[in-house]
C-alpha cells in the first residue's frame, strides 16, 4: 500500500505509479558524480513522464536494506507491507528538482 502522505486526497489504490528500474554506477566510476547525475536525470524524466501518463508517485524496489536507506535519504517512503518497496510523490520530486535549479 502507498504511504498515506502520497495518497491523501486521492482516490484509493491502485494509484498510478512509475517504476524506476535498477539504477547503479560501476564501482570504477564511483565518487565522480555520475550516479548523482544519473539519478537527477531519472527523476526529471519521471516527472516529465508523469505529466503524460498521469503518474502520482515514483516507485523503487530496493535490492537490500542498504539500498532502501539510500532511497529513504532521498525522500522516499517505504510501503507499509514491504520496507524494500519505496515511494515518493511526483509533486515532491518536481518541487525538489525546481528548488535545486534555483540554487
Parent domain of 47: 15-21+32-82
Domain count, the chain: 1
Asked if the structure places residue 41 within a domain, the reply is: yes
Asked if the structure places residue 92 within a domain, the reply is: no
Of 68, 66, 65, 49, the C-alpha closest to 57 is 49
Asked if the structure places residue 97 within a domain, the reply is: no
Asked if the structure places residue 102 within a domain, the reply is: no
Look up residue 18 and give its three cell numbers.
Answer: 512509475
The whole-number pLDDT of residue 24 equals 84
Confidence of residue 102 (pLDDT cuts 50, 70, 90): confident
The whole-number pLDDT of residue 78 equals 97
CA distance 29 to 26: 6
Note the pLDDT tens digit of each residue in 28-52.
998 898 988 999 999 999 999 999 9
Asked if the structure places residue 88 within a domain, the reply is: no
How deeply is 67 buried, as exposed, middle or buried, from its count of CB atoms within 10 A (0-12, 13-18, 19+)?
A: middle
Asked if the structure places residue 78 within a domain, the reply is: yes
Amino acid at each position: 500500500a502507498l504511504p498515506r502522505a502520497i495518497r491523501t486526497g486521492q482516490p484509493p489504490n491502485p494509484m498510478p505509479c512509475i517504476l524506476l528500474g535498477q539504477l547503479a554506477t560501476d564501482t570504477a566510476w564511483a565518487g565522480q558524480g555520475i550516479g548523482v547525475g544519473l539519478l537527477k536525470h531519472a527523476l526529471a524524466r519521471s516527472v516529465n513522464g508523469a505529466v503524460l501518463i498521469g503518474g502520482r508517485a515514483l516507485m523503487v524496489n530496493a535490492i537490500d536494506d542498504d539500498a532502501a536507506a539510500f532511497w529513504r535519504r532521498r525522500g522516499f517512503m517505504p510501503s507499509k507491507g514491504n520496507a524494500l518497496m519505496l515511494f515518493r510523490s511526483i509533486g515532491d520530486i518536481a518541487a525538489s528538482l525546481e528548488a535545486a535549479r534555483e540554487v
